[in-house]
Amino acid sequence: MVESSRRQATDRPYPWQCPVCLKPEVVPTTLPYTARVKHDGAIHEVPVAGLEVPRCRSCGELVFSQRVDDQINAALRAQLHLLTPEQIQSGRRKFGLDQQGLAEQLGVAPETVSGWESGALIPTRAMDNLLRLFFALPEVRAVLAGKGRNPNLGVVIPTPV
């Protein structure tokens, strides 16, 4: 079975034209699927028990869309025990921060926080750990508070001999 790297719009009615055999035979299908996903420098085998994916009835081509990618990304987050977009957004709001404010605290671009919250980006394990610490511990929030942070915190300053 060949998998199409083309992304199809999901708002048009089925059947779609197949990008491989060109027949109007692409319809929604639910099937078990194992994706190979590169994340954080490693390839992960991600099983998705009931992937909802458009498939050509004629040639078997799977047609991936943003909706299919979202299902695979959700399965990857669950497998790696990473925060969900909803958990990140909820944590940010709990402390009265907008995306810009959280980005400044963590030292990332506001677009990065937006990507995490929309599900377009998956945080690395290191960023997931930092987010968890930030949301859980007032001491971490105080250390990352920005302009008032201690420039020597965590730095070993040699004593004169």
* Domain covering 85-143: architecture: Orthogonal Bundle (1.10)
R_g (Cα) of the chain, nearest Å: 21
**Site of tokens 């399965």:** 75
List the one residue out of 25, 44, 26 whose CA is nearest residue 34.
44
User: Over 90: is that where the pLDDT of 73 sits?
Assistant: yes
- Provide the mean pLDDT of the chain: 91
For residues 157-161, average pLDDT: 79
Domain ranges in the chain?
3-80, 85-143
* Predicted confidence (pLDDT) per residue in 24-50, tens digit: 999 999 999 999 999 999 999 999 999
- How is residue 53 written in tokens? 């994916």
Q: What is the pLDDT of residues 88-137, one digit of tens each?
A: 999 999 999 999 999 999 999 999 999 999 999 999 999 999 999 999 99
Q: Write out the DSSP string of 49-91.
A: EEEEEEEETTT--EE--HHHHHHHHHHHHHHHTPPPHHHHHHH
For 3-80, give the CATH class: alpha beta
Burial letters 14-53, b for 16+ CB under 10 A, else e: eebebebeeeebbeeeeeebebebebeeeeeebebeebeb
- Report how far residue 19's alpha carbon sits from residue 7's, in angstroms, rounded to the nearest whole number: 10
Instruction: Check pLDDT > 50 for residue 72.
Output: yes
